[in-house]
Structure 1
């Protein structure tokens, strides 16, 4: 690993300093300095800086360069909605507003450094403002999706011991319904136009707040973010990330996977409650001095995506593989071809595996390649298809420094090239600084995430002789049929190539002979809805046998109107699997 890092980092810095890039003069210095942390830490020349705060050490530095005229004129933040309303902030304006917001949190809300705050908000500008304000005040932010129910909110309030909750007037009633059991909660902050008894109004408080605020001096390893993430069993775990893990950790992937510079405008469609919003809508673009573009977009709509990419000068686009699939599905190809994306030059995706068929269709329609990356709430980007490197369709790419990524067996031993195992990150004798701190209040789960010298992702995969990682599936999604281990993604990728298939999810289904078999839930393309279902099922089964190994074909097929998905468009296989096994 050390040899790989030593050879890779100088190459990164050479590319960064190349005059062919859009950095000019001192514009490149900030990102170079942050990346230099990687070089020094990975080569064990020095430790992390004792103190680090993303707001003061990164955002305020970009504001200074902006003020001195040494940064392109792009705003730091650009928000739009479908009503034509816009909000734009420079780095200097973001700094001033976030200082005022920090004073609101520390003053009216009575919060201190180290206190925890739950923020459940849609894609509104205040979410970004409060992110930075929490960093400045040393407050630990806990983002949550607007899809949370009262039960979800209650569990998060109790488990996190949050002292404040920030939400919109839409979700405020759900919060109030669980207040009797929320003994740790001290204040409630409302974002929006309305007012409610017992709630502080953020907009009103921001108007009168002072912009004079001294950033808290946070240590590199002090907690900054907590994300609730679901496991295979039990309640969601709390993943704690430090100021340095995300604040410094996205420098490499931001620059070389997302290909970001201060001249770029990046649009990531993730919901604010999911970790991908932190990755691609906060840390990676702002480390690189890029503009964060946001469309309010309460629900995913292909038309809105296409129109926005066509209308605004977005250079970098990130969305989930399922969203890309919806954009290029058979009945939308003509629709997509009617749009031109004049500024778009780079596309990335993550969160689930990308079908090679989708990759190919997007390239045909737009001329652009989708660069897939892979990571978890517990990590920054583990591996990715970096800009300028060879892309193998269906692969997650290669390891991203500082990670040493391997495929290991059940004992934690590295398996040979081509053999299936668990995707893992080496943590001994040296633990990457950008790996999560712990599962908060759950030492057993924290300990169980490590086997031998490796942190286990829980995802199954293979690695080829060139170091490319190939995703097979979640360990708990793997279908073991009569001794054959089948990854649902492989079957889905085969099915999606058939013109009858608009969308698909594959799960295991109980079988008295084989233990479990492959079952496919398929949303048909409109032109095939009236076809004979039995004949179509047979045709699809034969298609899978031809495209992939015959034993992987779906022995059961069910046509459905839609598939269960998260707010960000990821298919919820677990929902389908649970229903299927409940029939047994």
Structure 2
């Protein structure tokens, strides 16, 4: 079965809600593959040129692009950078907010064999210097605010970027993106090999300095068929993913997954997150499929969901484990069940709750059709049912899935995660009798206290069920007798006053909901939690701050102790 036929079969499986046929799909990697010329153009541009590919919205502005229009614009972009001696195998550094050039530059670079290096707009000059020293780009694409950062970082390297393109206004040394409009709307695609590098993702760094994850031309787009099936989108749908460019989730759910089946993407650019505006947009534009991190969902469910009329059919959440309370409130307010899923920058959707599946609240779901996932110990031995261990993927050259190729320039880290014929995700979970996986936490996040192992997610889930808690992050706090004590950082719900009485109320609540050894012994109220650009809580920062304060024997502001600390 050729690759294009596999894409058609996946679309059919979603339309018919018959996901059993996916297990019969066994992709065989071809020597050459280019997702734009081999999938996007034949399935979307040639067969459905006038279908809407993208709706872009910002305040009162709105722009629409058909598949034919986006293809033409991407060809102009590719022709333009080729005129500036940008060649197959070169790199492009893209640091843009959520604006249309993100989408057509991606299409152009995939078609031309240019390696894409996405960067979040929140990165500063120091972050860019780290990236440029690791991989120096031949092309830069940015708006005014980020162009200044790029210029400063470029100067420190002593090298010159071949061409820098700015999306608004003018800047010395930069080409206006409007200059691409004089180029031909036709462009020849590069004959890219399946194993050629396609993306360099600098990871969000929840446990240390960013790693450079290398994805390939065949593995990554093919792997995102699991993301497409998880969301359950199909041609004619309008899909909205709350995500900013610069991290892998944008390529997941705001690029490959919708266009794998010809759905329309909503690019909703915002200056700040306003729950009411988000819900109004979901209603007014009649969004059908929706993906959001739990961080955003926690804010959305604070609103009166019954005041809106939605056209939603499928809702999924990713980035952090989904707490049961969010699922219940969202289902009551919208009539749609949010389905959890689990994946990584290093792969695609690995474990999910599929549409129409029997969802167990709190479970990540079951492995997707391209991946063989096991729970294993550190020696590679598969563990028994309900036994906590490492989430691992079986790994061999014959498997075709969305697993990354390597960590660029880091063979030591590569060898650390690829061993015993497995890829170790760095996350802990267990599998129940029906094959559902239950997340415990990142290996580094699991708390070891008084010889017990405590997964932070379980404690956080209990706290988040309390009506006065908006967000929670649980870590290990150094303790003289227990080795560590469980500590919870908490953001209170709006209009809840920070008092010692509220802290005691939460201690009492946890005592009634958790085993004694899992109860938080310290609660610290805060107004914000450190997070990655993808919305994941950076517990590594919280642990570092906590270790320092305990070493200095300091009592932090708004910190309260259990009477049995």
* TM-score, normalised by the number of residues in structure 2: 0.91
SS at match of 1:520: strand
Q: Deviations over 1:73-104 (max 9, x none)?
A: 6401111111x211211111111110001111
1:149 to 121, 124, 128: 124
Whether the 8 Å CA contact 2:206–2:540 is kept in 1: the answer is no
Partner of 1:26: none
Equivalents in 1 of 2:468, 2:253: separation in Å? 34
Listed one character per residue, the Cα deviations across residues 428-482 of structure 1 (whole Å, up to 9, x for unaligned) are: 4744442101111111111111231210000111111111111111111111111
Alpha-carbon separation, structure 2, partners of 1:374 and 1:459: 10
Equivalent residue for 1:162?
Answer: 137
Q: Which residue of 1 aligns with 2:559?
A: none
State how 1:47-196 maps to structure 2 within 5 Å: 47-61=28-42, 62-67=44-49, 74-82=51-59, 84-108=60-84, 110-196=85-171
- The reply on whether 1:270 has 2:246 as its aligned counterpart is no
Shift of 1:257: 1.1
How many Å separate the matches in 2 of 1:18 and 1:222?
30
Given that 2:388 and 2:428 are in contact with CA atoms closer than 8 Å, whether structure 1 keeps it comes out as yes
| Structure 2: gaps (5+ residues) | 552-565
Task: Indicate which of 367, 370, 378 corresponds to 1:402.
Answer: 370
- CA deviations on 1:545-584 (whole Å, 9 max, x unpaired) are 2222221111001112222333443332222222111212
Report the alpha carbon displacement of residue 235 of structure 1 after superposing the two structures with TM.
3.0
Q: What whole-Å deviation, never above 9, does each CA across 1:218-259 have from its counterpart, x for those lacking one?
A: 1111111110115576531111101111222222430x2111
Q: How many correspondences in the alignment?
A: 544
Of 514, 522, 534, which aligns to 2:490? 522
Query: 1:152, CA displacement in angstroms?
Result: 0.5
How does 1:489-528 map onto structure 2 within 5 Å?
Answer: 489-528=457-496
* Aligned-pair CA distance for 1:161: 2.4
Aligned to 2:26: 40
Distance 1:309 1:152 in 2: 34
* C-alpha contact 1:116 1:162 (8 A) present in aligned 2: yes
CA distance in 2, matches of 1:504, 1:565: 12
Of 223-232 and 426-435, deviating more is: 426-435
1:308 maps to 2:284 = no
Distance 1:185 1:18, change over 3 A: closer
Q: Which residue of 2 aligns with 1:579?
A: 545
Q: 2-side partners of 1:466 and 1:17: how far apart?
A: 23
Give the match for residue 315 of structure 2: 347
| Aligned-partner Cα distance in 1 for 2:163–2:458 | 46
Distance 1:304 1:566, change over 3 A: farther
Where 2:253 maps in the other structure, the secondary structure is: helix
Q: 1:336 — aligned with what?
A: 305
Cα distance between partner residues in 1 of 2:23 and 2:148: 45
Q: Does the Cα contact within 8 Å between 1:59 and 1:95 map onto a contact in 2?
A: no
Please give the alpha-carbon distance, in whole angstroms, between the structure 2 residues aligned to 1:13 and 1:60.
Answer: 17
Q: 1:81·1:297 contact (CA, 8 Å) conserved in 2?
A: yes
Deviations 1:49-93 (A, max 9, x none): 2221111112211111114xxxxx6401111111x2112111111
For residue 207 of structure 1, report the CA deviation from its aligned partner: 1.8
Q: 2 CA distance for matches of 1:380 and 1:526? A: 35
Distance in 2, Cα, partners of 1:450 & 1:14: 29
| Structure 1 segment 133-532 matched on structure 2, within 5 A | 133-203=108-178, 205-231=179-205, 235-254=209-228, 256-328=229-301, 332-333=302-303, 335-341=304-310, 343-428=311-396, 430-529=398-497
Q: Distance in 2 between matches of 1:386 and 1:215?
A: 35
* Equivalent residue in structure 2 for 1:544, among 493, 510, 521: 510
Matching residue within 545, 561, 566 for 2:532:
566
Residue 556 (structure 1) aligned to one of 516, 522, 546: 522
Q: What SS does structure 2 have at the residue aligned with 1:102? A: helix
Q: Tell me the alpha carbon deviations over residues 129-157 of structure 1, each in whole angstroms, 9 at most, x when there is no partner.
A: 10001011110001010010101101111
Report the TM-score when normalising by structure 1: 0.89
Distance 1:387 1:259 in 2: 6
Shift in Å at residue 272 of structure 1? Answer: 0.5
Q: Is the 8 A contact 2:204 2:533 kept in 1?
A: no
Q: Which residue of 1 aligns with 2:12?
A: 16
